């Protein structure tokens, strides 16, 4: 089992004709993802073709959904237009929108969050690597890859991974796969201060998924999302969780990498997050290289 998506999920790609969107559409098709539509205003009626797979392009998400039955979108739209692209997916009634775009203005994302309040569509991102549910085939092909994660490092199995950092997601996945341990679903939630899906949202789904037996949770300085997840795990957690926090050496008041990775007002420090992890019984990895081993020790 998996969370959010399965190998049967039908995906549309907003911005499929741009160089970035096109390249990752190709990689998703090669992975076996069911890419059924592309959306680029003004290019409706064209065909995106790769290795024998012909993907029709539509002018709007609504048209693409009606014609193909797509339920999930990957957004590869430039920052000035990305918020409207997300809301177009919401208006079309998609189950899931995965916003890969980096650099969306915070005010735009506040507008998006308000508009989505109470509606059925879930947003992952923005500024995220997306998610992967590995498949059964060679190198886990035949799964569902949405976004920019390297599909070939994944292996089908029973560990859930959730992270604010894309590269640390890949590191955790590679460590697991190198040890012969597969993953149920790997979710990059993004590093922006205003995003759609939190650590806690994903943790709850992993805890409820019978095929997920252990979890790696990767956070970073800034905000309180990791502490909130740890507090919930302390009360309701039923599976082993290992955690890592990036940015322990970052000076207060200086943003490090992601827009949300900033310690201000004495809040959001790495130490506070590590303390919350330990209080919740989460295994703490001292360095990124220890993430998989920390979880595997807990599972023994």
Mean pLDDT by groups of 10 residues along the chain of 300 residues: 91 98 98 97 98 98 98 98 98 98 96 96 97 84 94 96 95 98 97 93 98 96 90 98 85 57 59 92 96 96
Q: Tell me, what's the pLDDT at 186?
A: 98
Q: Tell me, what's the pLDDT at 248?
A: 72
Q: Among 24, 154, 199, 258, which one carries the catalytic annotation?
A: 258
- pTM to 2 decimal places: 0.94
- Domain range annotation of the chain: 10-124, 155-299
Contact 176, 182 (CB under 8 A): yes
Kindly state the tokens that stand for 281: 């019984």
The answer, yes or no, to whether the previous bond of 126 is cis (omega within 30 of 0) is yes
Edge to edge, the sheet with strand 96-99 lists 47-50, 53-58, 34-39, 10-14, 72-75, 96-99, 122-124
State the fold for domain 10-124: Rossmann fold (3.40.50)
CB proximity list for 151: less than 8 A, separation 6 or greater: 27, 28, 30, 31, 132, 134, 139, 140, 141, 143, 145
Q: Tell me, what's the pLDDT at 191?
A: 87
Catalytic (active site) residue 258: yes
Q: Tell me, what's the pLDDT at 94?
A: 98
Helix (H, G, I), strand (E, B) or coil at 108: helix
Alpha-carbon dihedral 199, 202, 204, 205, rounded to 10 degrees: 180
Q: Which of 130, 126, 164, 165 is nearest to 150 (CA)?
A: 130
CATH number belonging to domain 155-299: 3.40.50.261
- 10-124 and 155-299 have identical folds: yes
Taking phi over 0 as left and psi of -120 to 50 as alpha, with beta for the rest, 130 belongs to: left
Kindly state the tokens that stand for 16: 């499929």
Helix (H, G, I), strand (E, B) or coil at 199: helix
Q: Tell me, what's the pLDDT at 259?
A: 52
DSSP-derived pairing of the beta strands 283-284 and 241-246: parallel
Contact 173, 183 (CB under 8 A): yes
Q: Tell me, what's the pLDDT at 139?
A: 67
Instruction: Report the alpha-carbon distance of residue 190 to residue 56 in Å, rounded.
Output: 29
Burial string for 2-13 (b: 16+ CB within 10 Å, else e) reads bbbbebebbbbb
Q: Tell me, what's the pLDDT at 142?
A: 84
Contact 205, 236 (CB under 8 A): no
Q: Tell me, what's the pLDDT at 258?
A: 55
């Amino acid at each position: 089992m998996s969370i959010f998506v399965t190998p049967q999920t039908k995906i549309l790609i907003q911005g499929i004709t741009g160089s970035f969107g096109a390249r990752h559409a190709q990689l998703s098709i090669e992975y076996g993802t069911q890419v059924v539509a592309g959306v680029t205003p003004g290019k409706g009626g064209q065909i995106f073709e790769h290795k024998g797979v012909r993907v029709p392009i539509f002018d709007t998400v609504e048209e693409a959904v009606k014609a193909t039955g797509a339920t999930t979108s990957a957004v590869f739209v430039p920052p000035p237009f990305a918020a409207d692209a997300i809301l177009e997916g919401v208006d079309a009634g998609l189950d899931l929108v995965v916003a890969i775009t980096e650099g969306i203005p915070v005010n735009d994302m506040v507008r998006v969050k308000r508009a989505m309040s109470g509606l059925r569509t879930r947003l992952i991102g923005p500024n995220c690597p997306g998610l992967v549910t590995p498949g059964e085939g060679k190198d886990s092909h035949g799964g569902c890859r949405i976004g920019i994660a390297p599909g070939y490092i994944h292996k089908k199995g029973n560990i859930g991974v959730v992270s604010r950092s894309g590269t640390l997601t890949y590191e955790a996945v590679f460590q697991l796969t190198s040890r012969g341990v597969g993953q149920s679903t790997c979710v990059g939630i993004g590093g922006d201060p205003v995003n759609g899906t939190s650590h806690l949202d994903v943790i709850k789904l992993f805890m409820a998924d019978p095929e997920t037996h252990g979890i790696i949770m990767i956070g970073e300085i800034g905000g309180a999302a990791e502490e909130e997840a740890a507090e919930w795990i302390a009360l309701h957690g039923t599976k082993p969780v290992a955690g890592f926090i990036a940015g322990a050496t970052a000076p207060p008041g200086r943003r490090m990498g992601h827009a949300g990775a900033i310690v201000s007002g004495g809040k959001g420090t790495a130490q506070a997050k590590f303390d919350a992890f330990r209080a919740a019984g989460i295994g703490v990895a001292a360095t990124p290289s220890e993430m998989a081993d920390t979880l595997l020790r807990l599972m023994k």
